[in-house]
């Protein structure tokens, strides 16, 4: 390379800096050589020297391309391409030198040859297109592998995109070099320029971390959210979504970032699958409308999460400890109660699409479970065990209240269960509560 530097040949991209004085000096030296050595002999010598320079440039890798950038699979193909293009460059440079010797630099062919030589330098040089392309390929492969191994890739990155990228970065595809650019694919499915391969995006852990910290702060504060608080949280969250764009919206909505195995929105819901498809479509109008719906639902879910955090913090700071139920409130939370009294209409009401038999069976089990809980929790004066054992709740006739089948705790073997209306049983229990 030192000899090449002294001769002025450093590839066409650097030649322009010598186009003034250097070329003039070469002409003067050539004229002097012809005078002293004879025109024919000197020209032959100079042509020979020029050819040797070009060959040396090719053999020494004067193109300055770093083969270390190329994966092993593609090295033979790249070596062949570089050799071919280097020889082309040497040919162009030889023609150029001969034209300079002949004083033909005004010839349009001279400029054309300079452009062809420069184009090769722009492909193969240290800042050339192929160097940049392989550098980008290697960086992309490293980033994708790291993100994949760490589970950082968002589940909302299209599966077909990930498939294509995995094939690309695992060097599974074949290579074509077109106009100094890398194209990957195969003969069966065709080839695509490297920069036209799809992108992926990572889950938005940055904003998710901020949301988690925000929720923890609300919990520690221990205050319920006011309407003003909710409005401020909503506005701030909307700004986050605006800045983050589509990728942030999709990631925060469907990646399980806030709660393990749980996302703000359920992607299994056909509604959201359709919205995501529209967001990722080429129809800008429909994509925009779908995005607004997603953002609204996501914001609502976010506010619910924040409200729950604040509520939990409030309850921890202000615990409710009612103690054992008393006669006045033992049955206050019993199902199907209205104003402290059992409401047969609620008990017998059949939901839409249901049937009476199933409804009554379900409702009587609800009451039976709640009655047993009450009997276990209340404090009966002077007793270590409840005074009654409930065996069954029986629906009443028509709109009448259900019946309770029970036995006194001191009943002997063979004693038949007693059956009384629920309201009477409630009154009887209340009388025995301390």
Q: How far is CA 46 from CA 113, 310, 412, in A?
A: 20, 88, 129
Q: For residue 126, what is the enclosing H or E element? A: none
- For residue 386, the tally of other CB atoms under 10 A from its CB is 19
What pLDDT, on a 0 to 100 scale, did the predictor assign at position 329?
62
- For residue 319, the tally of other CB atoms under 10 A from its CB is 6
Q: For residue 63, what is the enclosing H or E element? A: none
Under a CB-based contact definition with an 8 Å cutoff, are residues 363 and 343 in contact?
no
Under a CB-based contact definition with an 8 Å cutoff, are residues 388 and 368 in contact?
no
**What phi and psi, each to the nearest 5 degrees, are found at residue 244?**
-75, -25
DSSP state of 259: B
Q: Which residues contact 20 (CB under 8 A, 6 or more apart)?
A: none
Q: How many helices (H) and strands (E) does the chain have?
A: 14, 8
- Please classify residue 262 by burial: count the beta carbons closer than 10 Å to its beta carbon, then call 0-12 exposed, 13-18 middle and 19+ buried: exposed
Under a CB-based contact definition with an 8 Å cutoff, are residues 120 and 85 in contact?
yes
**What phi and psi, each to the nearest 5 degrees, are found at residue 97?**
-65, -40
Return left, alpha or beta for 100; rule: phi > 0 is left, psi -120 to 50 is alpha, else beta.
Answer: alpha
What pLDDT, on a 0 to 100 scale, did the predictor assign at position 7?
30
Per-residue tokens: 356? 């009476």
Task: Write down the pTM of the prediction.
Answer: 0.55
- Please name the residue ranges forming H helices in 102-226: 108-124, 129-149, 159-169, 205-221
What pLDDT, on a 0 to 100 scale, did the predictor assign at position 28?
46
Per-residue tokens: 284? 């800008």
**What phi and psi, each to the nearest 5 degrees, are found at residue 245?**
75, -160
202: three-class secondary structure by DSSP? strand
Under a CB-based contact definition with an 8 Å cutoff, are residues 393 and 402 in contact?
yes
Q: HSE-up of 314 (CA within 13 Å, CB side)?
A: 10
User: CA 36, 38, 43, 44 torsion: positive or negative?
Assistant: negative
Could you give the CA distance from residue 311 to residue 222 in angstroms, rounded to a whole number? 7
pLDDT in 10s for each residue of the chain, 434 residues = 333 332 322 233 333 333 322 222 323 444 455 455 554 454 445 434 433 433 443 343 344 578 888 999 999 999 899 888 888 888 888 888 888 888 888 888 989 988 988 888 888 878 888 999 999 999 998 898 888 888 899 988 888 888 888 888 888 889 999 888 999 988 888 889 899 888 889 999 999 999 999 999 999 999 999 999 999 999 999 999 999 999 999 999 999 998 777 899 998 899 999 999 999 888 999 999 999 999 999 999 999 999 999 999 988 888 765 555 454 567 777 888 887 777 888 888 888 877 888 888 888 888 888 888 878 777 776 667 788 888 888 887 777 788 888 888 887 877 888 888 888 888 888 877 75
What pLDDT, on a 0 to 100 scale, did the predictor assign at position 19?
33
DSSP character string of 187-253: TTTEEEEGGGSPP--B--HHHHHHHHHHHHHHHHHT-PPPHHHHHHHHHHHHHHHHHHHHHHHHHHH
C-alpha closest to that of 156 among 286, 279, 288: 279
Under a CB-based contact definition with an 8 Å cutoff, are residues 401 and 344 in contact?
yes
């Amino acid at each position: 390379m030192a000899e090449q530097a002294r001769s002025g040949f450093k590839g066409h991209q650097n030649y322009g800096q010598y186009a003034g004085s250097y070329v003039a000096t070469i002409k003067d030296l050539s004229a002097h050589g012809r005078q002293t050595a004879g025109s024919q002999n000197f020209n032959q010598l100079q042509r020979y020297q020029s050819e040797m320079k070009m060959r040396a440039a090719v053999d020494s890798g004067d193109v300055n391309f770093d083969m270390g950038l190329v994966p092993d699979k593609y090295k033979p193909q790249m070596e062949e391409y570089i050799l071919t293009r280097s020889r082309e460059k040497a040919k162009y440079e030889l023609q150029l030198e001969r034209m300079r010797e002949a004083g033909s630099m005004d010839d349009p062919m001279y400029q054309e040859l300079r452009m062809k030589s420069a184009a090769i330098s722009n492909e193969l040089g240290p800042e050339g297109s192929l160097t940049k392309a392989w550098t980008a390929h290697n960086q992309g492969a490293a980033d994708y592998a790291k993100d994949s191994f760490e589970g950082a890739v968002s589940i909302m990155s299209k599966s077909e995109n990930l498939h294509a990228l995995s094939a690309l970065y695992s060097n599974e595809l074949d290579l074509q070099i077109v106009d100094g650019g890398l194209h990957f694919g195969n003969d069966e499915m065709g080839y695509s320029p490297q920069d036209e391969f799809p992108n992926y995006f990572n889950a938005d852990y940055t904003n998710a971390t901020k949301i988690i910290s925000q929720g923890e702060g609300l919990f520690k504060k221990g205050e319920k959210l006011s309407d003003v608080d909710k409005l401020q949280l909503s506005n701030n969250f909307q700004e986050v979504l605006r800045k983050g764009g589509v990728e942030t919206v999709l990631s925060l909505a469907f990646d399980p970032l806030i709660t393990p195995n749980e996302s703000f929105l359920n992607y299994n819901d056909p509604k959201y699958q359709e919205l995501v498809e529209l967001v990722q479509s080429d129809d800008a109008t429909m994509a925009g409308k779908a995005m607004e719906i997603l953002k609204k639902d996501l914001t609502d879910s976010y506010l619910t999460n924040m409200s729950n955090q604040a509520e939990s913090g409030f309850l921890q700071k202000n615990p409710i400890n009612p103690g054992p139920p008393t006669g006045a409130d033992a049955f206050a939370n019993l199902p199907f109660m209205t104003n402290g009294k059992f409401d047969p209409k609620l008990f017998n009401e059949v939901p839409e699409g249901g049937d009476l038999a199933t409804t009554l069976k379900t409702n009587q089990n609800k009451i039976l479970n709640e009655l047993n809980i009450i009997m276990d929790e209340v404090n009966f004066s002077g007793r270590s065990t409840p005074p009654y054992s409930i065996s069954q709740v029986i629906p009443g006739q028509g709109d009448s209240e259900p019946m309770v089948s029970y036995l006194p705790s001191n009943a002997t073997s063979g004693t038949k269960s007693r059956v009384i209306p629920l309201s009477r049983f409630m009154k009887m229990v209340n009388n025995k509560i301390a």
